[in-house]
Structure formats: structure tokens, C-alpha cells
């Protein structure tokens, strides 16, 4: 494989409107989309990155292309769709935490098809990163995820998979079947604890790891928010990398920041435990500001926090 990238991600990016104050109808404009957040996080940690997607031939699509280019993410395989819009979402804050409202039905990214997407970058990267959200938004997008995985594996690259379970997008039975089929095709499985409980039917950490391994997972990193992250490679016992305490303002996208930061360090040659500790620090820093992308830290900021 002639590697050109460290991390290539595939999925749907969206423009975000994040409520500035819970008592006021004012919104900060930002950006989101799980795999887009992750690839930007990887880029800010110094990784060579590319994104595979579709955006609308509209103002919001141009904003996303400008964002990726400013972040050093290769966009040569992002298609522009004149017939479908770029997805949007709103974040509202209240006493129960933050609530999301999505305007993504029929979006340009949901119209991804393997035969019309340029997936060649998936065959020129150390890591391909995909998510369950991309599989849930449409059958065509789901097929595209599997085609990208096959492209990466055929070229000798590794695949990371965050199930990012969203039961507003698909029923649990279908989600579980698709996610379990995908686990067997990937090298790194990246669920959150809440997602793992829903998928595996247990909140016992060793049992969750056993469930993931039974479905073919090689390396598992279980994200547990402010607790930190559990991790284990094949055959090893799960270990906890504790998170540092932070005064979180907005946790939107923290798990995506974790994913991208982890992959950047793995691509750079770090051992799994070191990469998890680095990703913990990056994710914690990303909760100190509003929105999914703006507060993602740089490598220098993460190193300073670790020091």
C-alpha cells in the first residue's frame, strides 16, 4: 500500500446551530457530524487526513469545504450534490442536558452510493474511520461504509468503527445486526459505555469486552466519559485510563474528538495505552468550549495538559 494519509474518515458532516444561552433564542453557528469532527481532531493532532462524503451545492456545503481545507483535511473526494441539501442540526441546552434536533432527511450525504463515490483514499491510509450513524442514514450510505471498509482492508489498512448508536435513526434490532456485522470487519471498536450497554445488554465492563470479542473485535476502547476509557487488545484484560477532571461546558463531540486524537497517535506509532491517555486529555479539553469543532484542542494544547 502506498500510504498517503494517516486517517481517512467517511460519513455525513453537518452545520451546527448551538444555543448560546438556554434562556435565549440565540444560536452560535458551528460544525458537526461525528466522523467529520473526528477527522478534524486527527488533523489538529498532526495527522495527514482526508474526508469522504457528499455535501449540497449550497452555502452550507461551501462552508464545510472551507472548514476542511482550513483544517488541512483533503477534500478531493467530497462530492457536491446539486439536488440535495447539506444537513443541519440544532443543539438546545436545558436542565436535562443538551438536546439535538436534526434536519438531515434526504441530505446530500444520505445519497452516498458505492458506485458514485471516490473511495480510493480508503486504500491509501493507515486508518479508515467509519461510524454507525453513516450506516443508519440510508441504505446507500450503509453500503458505502462497507465498500470503504473492503477497500481499506484489501490495501492492508486498518479500520476503526464507532457505533455512535442513535435510536432516533434506526430501531435497536437493525442497529445491533448491522453493528455486529461491522465489528467483525474492523480492527478497532470504539463504543461509548451507554452504547455498549444497549448493544450488549449488560453494564459489566468485562462482559462488554467479552461480547465485543465474541463478535470479532480485535482491539476495544470503551469510552466512559468523565471516568475515562477502558481499553484492551486481543486476549488482554481491560484496563482503565482515568480521565482528568475538567469543568465541562459542552460535551458535544467529545467522543469524536477522542476517536480522532486516538487514531492520530496510533498512526504515529504510540502504544494503545499511551494513545488512550492522550485521547482522554484531548476529549476533556474539547468540553471546555461550545460546539463540536471550535474547542477541539491542538497537539500543543494536549501536550501541555498532559505535562
- Output the 3-class SS for the chain: CCCCEEEEEECCCEEEEEECCCCCCCEEEEEECHHHHHHHHHHHCCCCEEEEEEEECCHHHHHHHHHHHHCCEECCCEEEECCCCCEEEEEEEECCEEEEEEECCCCCHHHCCCCCCCCHHHHCEEEEEEEHHHHHCCHHHHHHHHHHHHHHHHCCCEEEEECCCCCCCCCHHHHHHHHHHHHCCCCEECCEHHHHHHHHCCCCHHHHHHHHHHCCCCEEEEECHHHEEEEECCCCCCEEEECCCCCCCCCCCHHHHHHHHHHHHHHCCCCHHHHHHHHHHHHHHHCCCCCCCCCCCCHHHHHHHHC
Query: Which among 6, 34, 256, 259 is annotated as catalytic?
Result: 256
| Residue with cell string 469486552 | 209
256 catalytic? Reply is: yes
Which residues have a catalytic role annotated?
A: 256
Amino acid at each position: 500500500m502506498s500510504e498517503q494519509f494517516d486517517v481517512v474518515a467517511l460519513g455525513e458532516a453537518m452545520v451546527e446551530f448551538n444555543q448560546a444561552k438556554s434562556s435565549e433564542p440565540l444560536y452560535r453557528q458551528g460544525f458537526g457530524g461525528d466522523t467529520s469532527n473526528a477527522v478534524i481532531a486527527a488533523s489538529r493532532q498532526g495527522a495527514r487526513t482526508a474526508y469522504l462524503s457528499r455535501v449540497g451545492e449550497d452555502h452550507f456545503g461551501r462552508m464545510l469545504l472551507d472548514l476542511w481545507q482550513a483544517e488541512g483535511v483533503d477534500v478531493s473526494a467530497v462530492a457536491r450534490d446539486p439536488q440535495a441539501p447539506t444537513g443541519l442540526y440544532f443543539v438546545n441546552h436545558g436542565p436535562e442536558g443538551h438536546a439535538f434536533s436534526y434536519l438531515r432527511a434526504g441530505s446530500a450525504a444520505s445519497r452516498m452510493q458505492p458506485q458514485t463515490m471516490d473511495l480510493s483514499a480508503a486504500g491509501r491510509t493507515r486508518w479508515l474511520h467509519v461510524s454507525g450513524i453513516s450506516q443508519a442514514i440510508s441504505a446507500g450510505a450503509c453500503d458505502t461504509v462497507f465498500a470503504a471498509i473492503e477497500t481499506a482492508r484489501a490495501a492492508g489498512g486498518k479500520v476503526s468503527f464507532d457505533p455512535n448508536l442513535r435510536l432516533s435513526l434506526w430501531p435497536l434490532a437493525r442497529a445491533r445486526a448491522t453493528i455486529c456485522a461491522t465489528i467483525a470487519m474492523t480492527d478497532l471498536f470504539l463504543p461509548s459505555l451507554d452504547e455498549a450497554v444497549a448493544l450488549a445488554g449488560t453494564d459489566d465492563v468485562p462482559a462488554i469486552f467479552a461480547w465485543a470479542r465474541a463478535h470479532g473485535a480485535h482491539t476495544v476502547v470503551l469510552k466512559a466519559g468523565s471516568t475515562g476509557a477502558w481499553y484492551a487488545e486481543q486476549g488482554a484484560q481491560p484496563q482503565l485510563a482515568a480521565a482528568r477532571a475538567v469543568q465541562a461546558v459542552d460535551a458535544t463531540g467529545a467522543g469524536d474528538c477522542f476517536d480522532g486524537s486516538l487514531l492520530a497517535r496510533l498512526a504515529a506509532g504510540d502504544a494503545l495505552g499511551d494513545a488512550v491517555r492522550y485521547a482522554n486529555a484531548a476529549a476533556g479539553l474539547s468540553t471546555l468550549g461550545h460546539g463540536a469543532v471550535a474547542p477541539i484542542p491542538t497537539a500543543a494544547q494536549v501536550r501541555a495538559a498532559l505535562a
